């Protein structure tokens, strides 16, 4: 899969901007065990990947509200960006210019929650530019469910096929959210050590 770098069948929307034909690459897996009494039990498993195209976007927003909204969306989707702010003679914000490459990470994290005896599964940027969490009983994580999970990541089915109980409130602001789904540092090269090609000219929106 890392060699093929498949094109995701999913289509996203960044506000009103369609985002599709995203190539999947930079696959990353990490897991950790921890000692409980005389046993080693799983703490978490992480699988993530990068979506990318050669597009670069240049977006201008003309109100503080629109600037804040887009900034929050990009932070939520973990999309790095540059923001140039324009002010009037009274130093009030009148416009914001965002410039960024269409590259961001998607991923899944399984993490045990010993307090409630369940497994929390975090999905980030899988079927939308957002994050949500499902909670499962350990015995629910069967092979058929894991097959559906793979299909969900690849765009072959939707989240309702997974079951589980949604826990949106646990996505951020908790110790669990501190376990990253991304590698320790970003990968800036294509497989084989060849530098990534220069991006296409920016699309102005």
pLDDT digits (tens, 9 = 90+) for 72-130: 888 877 788 999 999 999 999 999 999 998 888 888 888 887 777 788 888 888 888 87
Q: How far apart are CA 65 and CA 47, in angstroms?
A: 35
Q: Tell me whether residue 152 is in a domain.
A: yes
Q: Tell me whether residue 122 is in a domain.
A: yes
- How many domains, in total, are found in the chain? 1
Q: Tell me whether residue 38 is in a domain.
A: yes
Look up the domain containing 138 and give its range: 22-54+103-184
Q: How far apart are CA 172 and CA 132, in angstroms?
A: 9
Instruction: Specify whether the CB–CB gap between 34 and 49 falls below 8 A.
Output: no
Q: How far apart are CA 106 and CA 153, in angstroms?
A: 9
Q: How far apart are CA 184 and CA 88, in angstroms?
A: 41
Q: Tell me whether residue 173 is in a domain.
A: yes
Q: How far apart are CA 21 and CA 16, in angstroms?
A: 16
Confidence class of residue 1 from pLDDT cuts 50, 70 and 90?
A: low
As a whole number of angstroms, the longest Cα–Cα distance in the chain is: 68
Q: Tell me whether residue 96 is in a domain.
A: no
Q: What is the pLDDT of residues 168-190, one digit of tens each?
A: 444 443 444 445 666 665 533 33
Q: How far apart are CA 205 and CA 202, in angstroms?
A: 9
Other beta carbons within 10 Å of 104:
22
Buried b (16+ CB within 10 A) or exposed e, 77-88: bbbeeeeeeeee
Q: Tell me whether residue 13 is in a domain.
A: no
Q: Which residue carries 């600037």 as its tokens? A: 67
Range 193-198, long-range pairs (CB < 8 A, 24+ positions): 197/54
Instruction: Specify whether the CB–CB gap between 64 and 71 falls below 8 A.
Output: no
List Cα–Cα distances, 65 to 61, 71, 99, 130, in angstroms.
Answer: 9, 10, 18, 20
Q: What is the pLDDT of residues 16-75, one digit of tens each?
A: 888 888 888 888 888 887 777 777 777 788 888 888 888 888 999 999 999 999 998 888
Provide Rg for the chain, Cα atoms: 19
Q: Tell me whether residue 11 is in a domain.
A: no
Q: Tell me whether residue 49 is in a domain.
A: yes
């Amino acid at each position: 899969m890392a060699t093929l770098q498949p094109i995701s069948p999913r289509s996203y929307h960044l506000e009103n901007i369609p985002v599709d034909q995203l190539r999947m690459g930079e696959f990353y897996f990490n897991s950790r065990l921890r000692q409980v009494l005389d046993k080693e039990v799983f703490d978490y498993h992480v699988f993530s990947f990068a979506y990318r195209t050669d597009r670069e976007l240049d977006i201008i927003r003309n109100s503080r509200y629109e600037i804040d909204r887009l900034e929050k969306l990009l932070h939520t989707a973990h999309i790095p960006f540059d923001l140039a702010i324009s002010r009037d003679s009274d130093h009030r914000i009148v416009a914001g210019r965002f410039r960024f490459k269409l590259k961001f990470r998607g991923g899944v994290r399984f993490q045990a929650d010993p307090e409630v005896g369940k497994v929390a599964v975090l999905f980030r940027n899988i079927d939308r530019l957002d994050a949500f969490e499902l909670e499962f009983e350990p015995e629910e994580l069967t092979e058929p469910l894991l097959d559906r999970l793979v299909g969900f990541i690849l765009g072959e089915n939707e989240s309702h096929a997974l079951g589980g109980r949604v826990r949106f409130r646990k996505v951020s602001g908790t110790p669990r959210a501190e376990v990253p789904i991304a590698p320790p540092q970003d990968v800036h090269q294509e497989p084989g050590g060849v530098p990534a090609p220069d991006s296409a000219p920016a699309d102005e929106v």
